Amino acid sequence: MTFSVPIKQTHTAHHHQIVPLPATHDHVPVISSNSSLSPLKLQNMNLVHSPSHSLQLPKFISHFQNTPKFYPPKRVTTSNLETIGSNIFSNSTALIPIKAASEGVDTAVVVVEEEGPKLKKFQVFEGHPAPFGATVRDGGVNFAIFSANAVSATLCLISLSDLPENRVTEQIFLDPLTNKTGDVWHVLLKGDFKDMLYGYKFDGNFSPEVGLYYDPSKIVSDPYAKSVISRGEFGVLGHDDNRWPQMACMIPTAENKFDWEGDSPLKYLQRDLIIYEMHVRGFTQHESSRTEFPGTYLGVVEKLDHLKDLGVNCIELMPCHEFNELEYYSYNSVLGDYKVNFWGYSTVNYFSPMTRYSTAGTRNCGQDAINEFKLLVREAHKRGIEVFMDVVFNHTAEGNEKGPILSFRGVDNSIYYMLAPKGEFYNYSGCGNTFNCNHPIVRQFILDCLRYWVTEMHVDGFRFDLASIMTRSSSLWDAVNVFGSPIEGDLLTTGTPLSSPPLIDMMSNDPILRDVKLIAEAWDAGGLYQVGMFPHWRIWSEWNGKYRDIVRQFIKGTDGFSGAFAECLCGSPNLYQEGGRKPWNSINFVCAHDGFTLADLVTYNEKHNLANGEDNNDGENHNNSWNCGQEGEFASISVKKLRKRQMRNFFLCLMVSQGVPMIYMGDEYGHTKGGNNNTYCHDNYVTFFTQPLLRCSYPLSKLTVDYVHYLSTTMQINYFRWDKKEESSSDFFRFCRLVTKFRHECESLGLNDFPTAERLQWHGHDPGTPDWSETSRFVAFTLIDSVKGEIYIAFNASHLAVTITLPERPGYRWEPLVDSGKPAPFDFLSSDIPERDLAVKQYSHFLEANLYPMLGYTSIILVLSPNDHA
């Protein structure tokens, strides 16, 4: 076996830039013409760095091998500076391959005496090809990484103090004869790993035309690393204002244990869930949160009781895998600030939690950030709240051929990405690349990652962004590749949708993942739309985008949607029943992170995305929204009242529909983003200054100028406004909390199967006569409930008021509970309202005649009660 002895280099004042040779040559460093190295020194340096010369060195050091400690002759070379993106990253070591002992045999400890800090002592062994990543075992740490096309690999050790200085602390060359099994490079090290990180250098062919991007000047992250760190503070540039400072991976230790305090999965039935989509930083970053740790995992912990009060029993965290929020960092001339990747849909590493969502940052090499995420999960479980993760296995942050080499691309680009025959990147994600999900190596990687988050981090479920990409055939798709044997006629082009995708099959039948919730966003940017048709194995649920579109159309009064709206209320059996799925396979939502908030849905007909700096060209143009008569925040009293009614209608519809309701963060108090339906790039007080906007080419009326000034004093696009929530505590938040509580109380609003005529009866303005005509804007039904007895629910989406006739129930009377047309607190007649009896009495003459008056654009719930006067 061979291993490499790191030898400390003495740095001179000269920096010599390495110029890569053309792709047809071996990657031997070439020093620029201003080098002070002599030809002899240059020749010697190439000898040391070139793997092809490793066999020439045993004689040089053979007489040292029988001694427990040896000192190779000092070698003084000028430091090489290697470009890492826009960085200059210095090697502080040279490489000398040396024969090493097998495990279990006395091994030489290499000690290098040099001026300055001494190197750490490491024993180097052959190592094991599994498991992938860095793993504590056999008294040391085993490093294993897959790379089929690399011709050489070097393990780079970087101390926590060297990382911001762009220095490699030590390098260990992996001998392909002893440190490689199949396509897996591996090595076992024993020594002191305190404050030590790692990465890899891979050499091989740099030929984008065949999909290979090997560059030995790049230090790449291990895809299986459990924490990847670079900068420690969210939104703060690296040294020299670098957006992409060098990243490095945490080396695990046996001492890092987390006290779960007996935590175990809650394992709620999916039909009983109420999901809350939220953003970790946005939830508590605003000063009105008054949290000790704003914008962090611990900040969320401080506010979990709000979610408990709302009635939420599941949070869906927008991306918390490691990403670079400065990826889009650029000046926004409209606002006079800088754009960032706030949402996080651009993953750098799938095992690592986002370190800059922690209070610890890079402390303890990222382990403390892991523990803070675990603490969030543990504390959520204590409050009866499950934790889902929004995961992005459709693309990575490395982008297209112009993107950075960070991890997957430098490890084995042709394996991890979906490529065309000439190396071009397929772009089904709309973000530059497409993860090669159904390749055997990649699908095993995804499976390993999900298992880790379930077993190690105690996560309860996953929502898969653009999940339809996971159903597309991989690059180099063929039956042998996937199934092990040829199938006649199996000619599929890359990206073809598969009826039984291997990845989805593996996940659906995995003994660990079968017990967690799996939710697909069943479409992608390549035009594949699979809502109701996603391969499911009767396990997968879907974000029901059709529910969103139909409910928006009906509630705002569009003709022709009464029948489709009724299907939505029943859990969309038209989509899910035939395939053997249940109502709870439909994740119902009206609003989500992308698109209008609930308040903006009833305030704007058009998107207002100028703040994004893209001339209002970004974001969805077809929002199915209605401003209720006037565009924007400034509106008449009557319009504002109608907007409040519509918000109640939407929320009530969400909570009385079969399926699983999902609320978007802030909708419970009426958060506004000023009509911006694509707020991916804002992490600030979004201030629309009137003066700069007047210098733009947009025509601005006086009303628009006033509107901009209004925004400048009130607008906060992506931060939850706790002060606004408190202001609305007696209004919309109260309504949402009580309606959510009502859903939990009703056995009939979370059915395990689609309702039948034995339980549900449809009505129109008169009992038993529903109107499914094109012009109908009224839908009503009664539902038998084992807890409440029977409930009557009606939606009047017409602008006209109507007096409806209620079904007769001898010996019982209908009592009003919810009426979205009433002002708070009479919109929900809870038992604690002092004037409740008086409010009910005002309608007694209608109810005694089995009638109820409904205003236009209103919804109601009536509950059947015994008639004391019968």
The catalytic site residues sit at 465, 521
Distance CA 547, CA 565 (A): 8
Question: How many CB atoms are closer than 10 A to CB 37?
Answer: 16
**Helical ranges in 715-805 per DSSP H:** 722-727, 732-745
Asked whether the beta carbons of 402 and 455 are under 8 A apart, the reply is no
Distance CA 332, CA 316 (A): 30
Asked whether the beta carbons of 321 and 352 are under 8 A apart, the reply is yes
Distance CA 703, CA 705 (A): 5
Question: How many CB atoms are closer than 10 A to CB 499?
Answer: 7
Dihedral angle sign, alpha carbons of residues 608, 611, 615, 620: negative
Asked whether the beta carbons of 251 and 193 are under 8 A apart, the reply is yes
Dihedral angle sign, alpha carbons of residues 821, 823, 828, 830: negative
Q: Single out the residue of 192, 198, 186, 175 nearest to residue 4, CA to CA.
A: 175
Return the structure tokens found at 550: 């139909």
Distance CA 515, CA 746 (A): 26
Question: How many CB atoms are closer than 10 A to CB 699?
Answer: 6
Return the structure tokens found at 56: 């020439």
Strand partners, 93: 8
Q: Phi, psi at residue 372, to the nearest 5°?
A: -70, -35
Helix (H, G, I), strand (E, B) or coil at 564: helix
3-state helix, strand, coil in the chain (%, to 5): 25, 20, 50
Cβ burial of 710 (10 Å; 0-12, 13-18, 19+) is middle
For the residues of 605-660, what is the DSSP string, one character each?
Answer: SS---GGGTSTT-SS-S------TTSSSS---HHHHHHHHHHHHHHHHHHHHSSSE
Distance CA 551, CA 488 (A): 46
Alpha carbon 150 to chain centroid distance? Answer: 30
Return the structure tokens found at 521: 């966003």
For residue 796, give the H/E element and its range.
strand 789-796
| C-alpha radius of gyration, the chain, whole number | 31
Return the structure tokens found at 683: 């992490």
Distance CA 668, CA 280 (A): 17
Q: Single out the residue of 81, 100, 93 nearest to residue 119, CA to CA.
A: 93
For the residues of 155-194, what is the DSSP string, one character each?
Answer: EEEEETTTGGGTEE-EEEEEPTTTSEETTEEEEEEEE--T
